[in-house]
Amino acid sequence: MARKFLYIIAVLLVLYILVRLVLTFYAEDLTEMAFVPDGPFHARPALADNAYDDPGMWIARPDMAKQDNPAQWLPSGFTAQVRPTQATVFFVHPTSYIEKGDWNADLDDATSRERADVFVKAMASPFNGTGAIWAPRYRQAAIGAFLTDKPQANEAIDLAYRDVLDAFDAFVAQAPEDRPIVLAGHSQGAFLLRRLLRDRIARTPLADRIAAAYVIGWPVSIEHDLPEMGLPACVRADQPGCVASWLSVADPADTSMLTQAYGRRKGLDGQAVGGSAFLCFNPLTGALDSAADAGANTGTLVPNFERSTGELVAQEVPAACGPDHFLHIGPPPKLDLDAFVLPGNNYHVYDMTLFWANLRADYERRTAAWLKAH
């Protein structure tokens, strides 16, 4: 009986080693099989010219009842200082469509809509202290579109981008001209926001109205993206009218899949970006290429995605920009975050929530600086 038990243990050990080897050497192939759609791209008609006049096309907008507006959520125990609205915020949510049945999500896809609402709750809420937040629904590209170089992927991303442009134009038409504009997006939202900055902000009067652009969870190439975006990088904590961007990893980090995804896409100048340096903004310092220990972190949001709640935990997560341009948070923090940590100690899902309170303070500081300058 003991010998049989040892045989079972030996077999399980061998299987475990084989699985680890497969995940190590074929992780990219397995990820593509799991998430990249294998069917044709299905073109969709352009939205109606006034599509975003419909309140139902927005996850969040200022005229929504507070109890129905996920962007107005606050963590339990956090008391916000009541201030008059000072800025108008345009927030583009990350990918919530993780199926492979199609290259784009339909606007009425229930599961992706529910996830998007949760993402807006966790990631747009840092801006609700002094901001009127607008967060559009859009026919987002499937997550697999960012894991392949198939031509259908570009078509899917372009379709999503057209929706976001339409939403932004509707947003600008209603944004008060005497208030600063703050742009924010994460992951796919950040990828699309890069292009929007080039096409709607750079070399236009709108550039002077931007208090800050938070392009988080997608690399912003210093050489190929930033010059086309119409705004400089945020190098000081009190600087308005600038771009902040970071990608979070714990140590030891394996960033190979992230850098491969980055290299698949061209920069805003049309050139290949593979191997080029990208921005690393540290939300704990408010500056580029800097470091701070956990004592500077005034609040990490530990979300409970199943219950759509969360709590703030202070002074647990440090941050330092590394020579690889990623924002390193040291060893995995002793917080309940493991469920959504991606392979390679990639804390992509938590890019914003790791620094929730500091991001909130950074946003309010840059908005105040813009108002003082104007």
Q: Specify the pLDDT at position 80.
A: 78
100 half-sphere exposure, CB direction, 13 A CA radius: 13
pTM of the predicted protein model: 0.91
Identify whether the C-beta of residue 361 lies closer than 8 Å to the C-beta of residue 231.
Answer: no
Res. 340: pLDDT tops 80 = yes
In which band, very low, low, confident or very high, does the pLDDT at 308 lie, cut at 50, 70 and 90?
confident
In which band, very low, low, confident or very high, does the pLDDT at 304 lie, cut at 50, 70 and 90?
confident
Burial class (CB in 10 A: 0-12, 13-18, 19+), 47: middle
Percent residues over pLDDT 70 in the chain: 91
Res. 64: pLDDT tops 80 = yes
Strand-pair category, 181-186 with 87-92: parallel
Strand-pair category, 319-321 with 291-292: antiparallel
Q: Which residue type is seen at 235?
A: V
Identify whether the C-beta of residue 123 lies closer than 8 Å to the C-beta of residue 91.
Answer: yes
Q: Specify the pLDDT at position 303.
A: 84
Across the strands, what pairs with 266?
272
Q: Specify the pLDDT at position 276.
A: 96
Least confident among 10-19, 66-75, 90-99, 213-222: 10-19
Rounded Cα–Cα distance for residues 274 and 127 (Å)? 32
Rounded Cα–Cα distance for residues 329 and 284 (Å)? 11
Res. 128: pLDDT tops 70 = yes
Rounded Cα–Cα distance for residues 207 and 199 (Å)? 11
Res. 21: pLDDT tops 50 = no
pLDDT in tens, 140-195: 999 999 999 999 999 999 999 999 999 999 999 999 999 999 999 999 999 999 99
Rounded Cα–Cα distance for residues 368 and 374 (Å)? 10
Between 78 and 12, residue with greater pLDDT:
78
Q: Which two tokens stand for residue 303?
A: 């979300």
pLDDT in tens, 211-249: 999 999 999 999 999 999 999 999 999 999 999 999 999
Mean pLDDT within 341-366: 97
Between 44 and 17, residue with greater pLDDT:
44
Nearest Cα neighbor of 246 from 268, 293, 279, 286 is 279
Mean pLDDT within 289-313: 92
Identify whether the C-beta of residue 121 lies closer than 8 Å to the C-beta of residue 128.
Answer: no
